[in-house]
């Protein structure tokens, strides 16, 4: 029997991906939750892709992490809460404060790429 993997901590994961993105000069964090239609099993997978568009550091795109979406619900809930706060205050950017970041606060914007569809697929982008 396989043991279900534990949930990732949303605060720690968001802090890590923001810190890594800033340290390596990535300016786009693309999060995609899609249905994986493998013949052996069907499950949703969350992919986190980092993208850099820069004349100084060059363009780059790389996969940061791929995990089952069931294990990332705390992270998705955190991003959803931050997004709702941003829209409730009619702001264009989110300011997130935590002790987990070296700098204490991070300002970023949120852009929805794909709304949830019949398969519960979702795609959004965090712009630094």
> Does 95 map to a domain?
no
- Residue 102: inside a domain: no
Decide if 101 is inside a domain: no
- Residue 83 within any structural domain of the chain: no
Question: Could you say which DSSP state residue 25 is in?
Answer: T
**Residue 53: domain span:** 1-78+110-128
Residue 10 vs residues 56, 79, 80, 107: alpha-carbon distances, Å: 32, 8, 11, 17
Q: Does residue 82 contact residue 97 with C-beta atoms inside 8 Å? A: no
For the ranges 11-15, 68-72, 104-108, the maximum mean pLDDT occurs at 11-15
Residue 2 counted as domain residue: yes
**Which tokens belong to 14?**
């968001």
Q: What end-to-end distance do the CA atoms of the chain give, in Å?
A: 42
Give me the number of domains the chain comprises: 1
For residue 26, pLDDT over 90 is answered with: yes
The pTM score is 0.87
Q: What is the mean pLDDT of residues 60-84?
A: 93
What does the pLDDT average to over 18-39? Answer: 90
SS3 state at 62:
strand
Helix (H, G, I), strand (E, B) or coil at 11: helix
- Place 2 in a pLDDT band, splitting at 50, 70 and 90: very low
Q: Is the pLDDT of residue 13 over 70?
A: yes
């Amino acid at each position: 029997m396989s043991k279900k993997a534990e949930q990732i901590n949303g605060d720690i994961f968001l802090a890590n991906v923001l810190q890594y993105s800033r340290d390596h000069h990535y300016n786009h964090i693309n999060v995609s939750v899609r249905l994986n239609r493998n013949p052996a099993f069907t499950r949703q997978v969350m992919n986190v892709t980092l993208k850099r568009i820069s004349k100084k550091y060059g363009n780059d795109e790389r996969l940061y992490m791929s995990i089952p979406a069931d294990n990332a619900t705390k992270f998705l809930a955190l991003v959803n809460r931050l997004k709702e706060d941003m829209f409730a205050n009619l702001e264009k950017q989110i300011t997130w404060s935590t002790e987990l970041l070296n700098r204490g606060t991070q300002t970023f914007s949120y852009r929805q790429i794909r709304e949830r569809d019949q398969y519960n697929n979702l795609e959004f982008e965090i712009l630094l």
